[in-house]
Homo-oligomer: A and B are copies of this chain.
């Protein structure tokens, strides 16, 4: 699998979105979010999404020049109207508005409504943690998995993310889970290879359990009623509190129902308002160290903190390059041709320059 530098992948994404009419500044925000996912090994949210993003632009679902606006709804709350901006553009705006508000109030919430695919939700929670805050984020999307007991797609795989900073020199804790039992990416992968699916994770179009990747269409909610209930509550908090329902429109098949859009609720807590920041950071690392030192099961090679695998993959891929599968490269080559931008240049064996 050919490897690419972070710089080159970023260059490609920036060129692509600029060719579609996005400002260089905004294209840089999209590139940072997309390539961050690849760097961390969350390849399902990386450059593999670019063809779909181009379709969204073609179909009027993603607006390259959307005006993202903020309405201060309450001392601790912001309503942010994204107007179908690219997810990373709307979310970058939201984080920048949210953090000073949390610093004043101790806790603040930003509702980001009618944005498009935000990518990896943890990317934004991490920004709050890197600014020294604690963050809870939830993301509502269109139906992709059954509600517990239903045979059809009813809920988004709505992720929930938590992030906190740790002691200096230690990675933050970054938790980011979908409310599905496994990601849909595993199905896409199994379809390519023909490998049977893990039992209990997927169903077909009629809601019947299956391990056959050829007939599986949906992933099941994590823990049945737990995952689907959590997803439903995320719709209530991220969508309904912002006045932008997604699921009811989709299930009632209204005109708005089938159009891709996402809503996000970000909550930031200014740690220093509640406890000494250095104490907190040291306690996070003390906790992580105590858990890492526990006796392990025979099957476990290591005990990992939330986000740890991603931080390790990031260090490795920054040093060695980011692998992109040939099938994805072929699609990206097609985009380069269509939008007259330079195709991706493979790493020439030299260490790539890092972009912070």
| Contact of B275 with A242 in the complex, beta carbons under 8 Å | yes
Whether A202 sits at the interface, judged by CB under 8 Å, is no
A108 to chain B, nearest CB (A): 7
Q: Which residue of B lies closest to A299 (CB)?
A: B149
CA A136 to CA B238, docked complex, whole Å:
12
Whether A105 sits at the interface, judged by CB under 8 Å, is yes
Copies of this chain in its oligomeric complex = 2
Per-residue CB contact flags for chain A residues 72-111 toward chain B (1 = under 8 Å, else 0) read 0111110100000000000000000000000011111101
Per DSSP, are chain A's interface residues mostly helix, strand or loop, or mixed?
mixed
Whether A36 sits at the interface, judged by CB under 8 Å, is no
Query: For the side of the interface on A, what is the size category?
Result: 35 or more
A301 to chain B, nearest CB (A): 8
CA A7 to CA B297, docked complex, whole Å:
48
CA A303 to CA B242, docked complex, whole Å:
26
Whether A252 sits at the interface, judged by CB under 8 Å, is yes
Residue among A111, A208, A273, A294 with max Cβ neighbours from chain B (10 Å) = A294
Whether A123 sits at the interface, judged by CB under 8 Å, is no
In chain A, positions 255-284 with a C-beta closer than 8 Å to chain B are 267, 269-271, 273-276, 279-280, 283-284
| Contact of A290 with B149 in the complex, beta carbons under 8 Å | no
Q: Which residue of B lies closest to A77 (CB)?
A: B106
Write out the residue numbers on chain B whose beta carbons fall within 8 Å of the beta carbon of A296. Answer: 149-151
| Contact of A243 with B291 in the complex, beta carbons under 8 Å | no
CA A240 to CA B106, docked complex, whole Å:
15
Interface residues of A (CB under 8 A from B): 73-77, 79, 104-109, 111, 134, 136, 146-152, 154, 160, 162, 164, 173, 175, 177, 181, 207-208, 222-223, 225-226, 229-230, 232-233, 235-237, 240-243, 245, 247-248, 251-252, 267, 269-271, 273-276, 279-280, 283-284, 286-287, 290-291, 293-297, 299-300, 302-306
